[in-house]
Structure 1
Amino acid sequence: MTDVDPRDAVPVRWYVPTPGDQAPSGPTVLWLHGGGFFKGGLHQPEAHAVAESLARQGVTVATVDYRLAPPPGLRWVKSRAGRPRVRFPLPLDDVLTAYLRVSARSPDGVILGGASAGACLAAAATLRAIDEGPRPVGTVFAYGFFHGAHPRVPEVQQRSRGHRRITHSVWGLNAMNRNYAGSTAALADRLAFAGGHELDQFPRTLIVNAEQDNMRASGDRFAAELAASGVDVQHHVLTGTRHAFLNRPGLAAFATTISLIAAWSRDE
């Protein structure tokens, strides 16, 4: 692991396979942590443990400390660790800055990926990279959401009953989206939420969803939208899992997902 340079406006941490690990091969995975756009960082398992585990399987990974939004309902919270709280599109700007830096060091290209809100940012960053170049060679999303308004799917809500009952209710998730977007108009912006927009230029994509997760409704819909657009999509729903299982490295779902990403990134 190469630690971040505190002088960098957008901190990026690299995880390069070391001697004794599998030999590095294929693209670099640029991985974005989740946290509802307003929390999380490079040290949480969803960033550090994921990147470290992928590196042990021969995948080069970079993680990004993008700027965060204020906590929902707490607009007075202006900073975190000396960095200002911001809203769309500034976190996306940070991701694109990191993406260009990582691309310059990745001769085999970059796979954009992330979990939860990080998946949402990665999907939006993919659209912007398609517009501006260079185009990513793949995308990977774990239990992500992609739509400005979370779909209401009774079957999914029934399976998710009792898990984060308030914060992960459809109402709570929509409030989180509005907090990040900062305006009603931004909710419909393709670079805020990629779902429901033209996706035919997307690269090959791996989606891993949690079965008992209200966000799965958006993840399932996005997978269907990509497939309908002619994108090569590999979609998995892990039985019995709940949201944010990548924050718990001891779970079987964590190991399963790491193996899926490592094999898929090598096009196995």
Structure 2
Amino acid sequence: MPFHPDIAARLPLLEGIPSLEAGLREPSMRAQMEAFDAYLDAPPPPSAATQLISVPGPHGTVPLRIYTPLEPSQVAGSPHAMVWMHGGAFQFGDLDTKEADWTARQLVQRASATIVSVDYRLAVNGVHYPVPLDDVVAAIRWVRANMTEWGITSISLGGASAGANLAAAAALRLRDEDGWVPEHLVLVYPLMHAEPPVPSESLRLALAELPNAMRLTPRMIHSATENYLGTSHDLPVPGYAMPANADLGGLGPTLVLNAEYDELRASGESFSALLAAQGVDVEQVKIHGMLHGFLNLPATFAPVNEALERIAVRLRPKSC
């Protein structure tokens, strides 16, 4: 399927940018990238009640932003919660990133659910694995310990890109250490391998259409994962760091949403196959016409709306 028409119409804005690294590094090219990513006519994100708190963790406090519906009737009618982790190559992003804030608000509106967005420590300034994961595990444990106060009866975990890695890794650690697994696991354009698998023929053909400024090259992926690990890939990579290396048995129902035009689609597809091989109930969906990071786009895009609806249906009360 071709690029989404709104994306295709913007591709001329990227002309002259030789690579994503150059686009992020050079000021003039960065301005082109920002213009490509800007949707000034996008509707504002849905309203939600928010509360910013900090919870204890092994490396210090972990900030959380908790989103709940504005209408009291919606709060009372939805006991489901999702702990959500933004992406950003383990090095970028925060609670205000669109992939964090807009996604949370969309899910609150669509599912009347409680969304807990985690501001985990980034792998910068000497921070490496397992620190970001420790923060996420501490946040989930806090939510579990405070379910009654928040009127929550079930907890799901989700994340995008590097955040999907952290969501899956946290589910594995909590399975092993606490004997607990989330109600649902939602992984959006996930990074699950230190080195992504060889792409399928259909993915190879799709990637050939990507402009250089939108390519997550193997070198970039290698650099991001090596920075997160703080060590060479030549050493055995723990399954809690790269979940494709883990025993995946016993995880609960899992939704994997892959972008059609995305190098990490190979990781998401392969991880889905590993889940299925170990008896996990997994649903894998290719979101057509989309690039990596599509949760940063307006929900008025039909494929983005589809992705959000697929997540929301897992959080809604069964009668909805």
What is the percentage of aligned positions where both structures have the same residue?
36
Q: Distance in 2 between matches of 1:176 and 1:187?
A: 17
Unaligned runs of 5+ in 1: 71-77, 79-84
1:159-170 matches, cutoff 5 A: 159-161=206-208, 162-163=210-211, 168-170=216-218
Match of residue 257 from structure 2: 208
Q: Report how many aligned residue pairs link the two structures.
A: 255
Q: Distance in 1 between matches of 2:212 and 2:236?
A: 23
- Contact kept? 1:206, 1:234, Cα under 8 Å: yes
Q: 1:231 to 1:164 in 2, by over 3 A?
A: farther
Q: 1:192 to 1:164 in 2, by over 3 A?
A: farther
In the alignment, does 2:44 pair up with 1:44?
A: no
Match of residue 10 from structure 1: 62
> Which TM-score applies when normalising by structure 2?
0.74
User: Higher helix fraction: Structure 1 or Structure 2?
Assistant: 2
In the alignment, does 2:118 pair up with 1:64?
A: yes
Deviations 1:27-49 (A, max 9, x none): 31000000000000100110000
2:181 aligns to what SS in structure 1? coil
Q: 1:217 to 1:267 in 2, by over 3 A?
A: farther
1:223 aligns to what SS in structure 2? helix
Q: Distance in 2 between matches of 1:246 and 1:54?
A: 12
1:47 aligns to what SS in structure 2? helix
- Contact kept? 1:177, 1:187, Cα under 8 Å: no
- Contact kept? 2:175, 2:181, Cα under 8 Å: yes
Match of residue 176 from structure 1: 224
- Contact kept? 2:238, 2:245, Cα under 8 Å: no
Q: Distance in 2 between matches of 1:39 and 1:45?
A: 12
- Contact kept? 1:143, 1:209, Cα under 8 Å: yes
Q: 1:94 to 1:200 in 2, by over 3 A?
A: same
Q: Distance in 2 between matches of 1:21 and 1:267?
A: 13
Task: State the superposition RMSD in angstroms.
Answer: 2.1
- Contact kept? 1:22, 1:56, Cα under 8 Å: no
Q: Which structure: larger Rg?
A: 2
- Contact kept? 1:207, 1:235, Cα under 8 Å: yes
1:239 aligns to what SS in structure 2? strand
Q: Which sits farther off after the overlay, 105-114 or 115-124?
A: 105-114
Q: Distance in 2 between matches of 1:244 and 1:7?
A: 28
Q: How big is the shift at 1:167?
A: 5.8
In the alignment, does 2:152 pair up with 1:104?
A: no
Q: How big is the shift at 1:260?
A: 0.8
Q: Report the residue type matching 2:119 in the other structure.
A: D
Q: Report the residue type matching 2:167 in the other structure.
A: A
- Contact kept? 1:21, 1:56, Cα under 8 Å: no
Q: Distance in 1 between matches of 2:63 and 2:258?
A: 28
Match of residue 118 from structure 1: 163
Q: How big is the shift at 1:5?
A: 3.3
Q: 1:226 to 1:33 in 2, by over 3 A?
A: same
- Contact kept? 1:46, 1:246, Cα under 8 Å: yes
Q: Distance in 2 between matches of 1:197 and 1:137?
A: 20
1:101 aligns to what SS in structure 2? helix
- Contact kept? 2:90, 2:228, Cα under 8 Å: yes
Q: 1:127 to 1:267 in 2, by over 3 A?
A: farther
1:168 aligns to what SS in structure 2? coil
Match of residue 73 from structure 1: none
Match of residue 41 from structure 2: none
Unaligned runs of 5+ in 2: 1-48
- Contact kept? 2:54, 2:64, Cα under 8 Å: no
Q: Distance in 1 between matches of 2:189 and 2:109?
A: 23
Q: Distance in 1 between matches of 2:269 and 2:177?
A: 27
Q: How big is the shift at 1:252?
A: 2.4
Deviations 1:216-237 (A, max 9, x none): 0000001111111111111110
Match of residue 264 from structure 1: 314
